[in-house]
Structure formats: structure tokens, C-alpha cells
Amino acid sequence: MTDAAQTYTAYIALGANLNSPASTLEAALESIAATEGIELIKRSSLYRSPPLDADGPDYINAVAEIRTRLEPLQLLHSLQAIENAFGRERAYRNAPRTLDLDVLLYDGVNSDSTELTVPHPRLHLRSFVLMPLIEISGDMPLVQGRASALLEAALASGQVIQKLL
């Protein structure tokens, strides 16, 4: 699918709501940047939001823009290894977590497999992803519309998000 010498732009969502989530996200960003085949280009501020379709404490979220030589599934597996290193457990769907890393977008690739769907299927519905994505990439067009319009709709639906200082 990809040429090993070529680099691709991807966006990664980071989230955590257990232990020290802000510190975890900062350390996860360092781990992503230290991963072979990945270069961290930009990262957003940290944002706090209540769980969506889940329970537990508030989440801390961010988005990172990376350049990578990894194919989409290789990238996913690298991110899952980082999650595991931070003690990620998948007890049940939407369970509270020490770290969650999702591939949001991968250089225009559209893929829907049992292991990875890009663009992320719920990206357009989540203020806690859209706001940090807009912060680092501007009002980009997504499959469902402009990021700013999608964020406005998510906020209008009652989602709450707060930028941390």
C-alpha cells in the first residue's frame, strides 16, 4: 500500500481518564515521537471532557499530527504497543482507560477493515477530537463536512469540552 521511502501524514487522537491522565498524555506523546518510523509534527493543547457513551472520571484528550513511514496497520500496532506499555486494559467497550490512541486520519486513505477504519468512524461526532484537531490543522474538510461545522453540531448536542491551561 505504501512506499517505505515515502512519508505520510496522519492524525492521532490521545485520551486517558485513569491515574494521572495529563501526565500520561505528555509521556505518550514522547513515546510516539520516539517510535521508529514516526516523526511528531504538531500536538494540540490538552482538553478535558466528560465521558461520552461511557462512565468514569473526565477524560483528558489531545490530537497529534505525525509524519510516518509506517503503513496504516503498522502504525496502529505501534500505537497499541504504546497503549499496552501504559497499562491499557480492554475490560469492556468504552471502559475507563489509562491510555487510548486512535488513528483518526491517514494521508487521505479510506479503509474499513476489522482491525482499522480510517477515517475514524466517529471522528465527526466528537468535540474532544474535533477541537484539538482544528487547533493544529485548521478547519479541514472531513468526509462529513468542515471540521468547524461538525464541532458546532457536537457542541450543540450537549457535548462539553474545556481547554486546559
Long-range contacts formed by 103-106: CB under 8 A, 24+ apart: 103/10, 103/11, 103/12, 103/72, 103/75, 103/76, 103/79, 104/10, 104/11, 104/12, 104/13, 104/63, 104/129, 104/133, 105/10, 105/11, 106/8, 106/9, 106/10, 106/72, 106/75
Q: What dihedral do alpha carbons 132, 134, 138, 141 form, nearest 10°?
A: 140
Distances (CA, A) of 107 to 39, 59, 111, 132, 162: 14, 27, 11, 18, 28
Q: What is the pLDDT of residue 94?
A: 72
Neighbouring C-beta atoms of residue 22, cutoff 10 Å? 13
pLDDT band at 90 (very low <50, low <70, confident <90, very high): confident
Residue 20 CA, distance from chain mean position? 18
Residue 91: pLDDT above 90?
A: no
Handedness of CA 106, 134, 60, 120 (dihedral sign): negative
**What mean pLDDT value characterizes the chain?**
94
Which residue(s) pair with 141 in the sheet?
A: 146
Residue 42 CA, distance from chain mean position? 13
Active site residues: 88, 97, 100, 102
Q: What is the pLDDT of residue 52?
A: 86
pLDDT one-digit tens code per residue, 109-164: 999 999 999 999 999 999 999 999 999 999 999 999 999 999 999 999 999 999 99
Contact 123, 142 (CB under 8 A): yes
Q: What is the pLDDT of residue 7?
A: 96
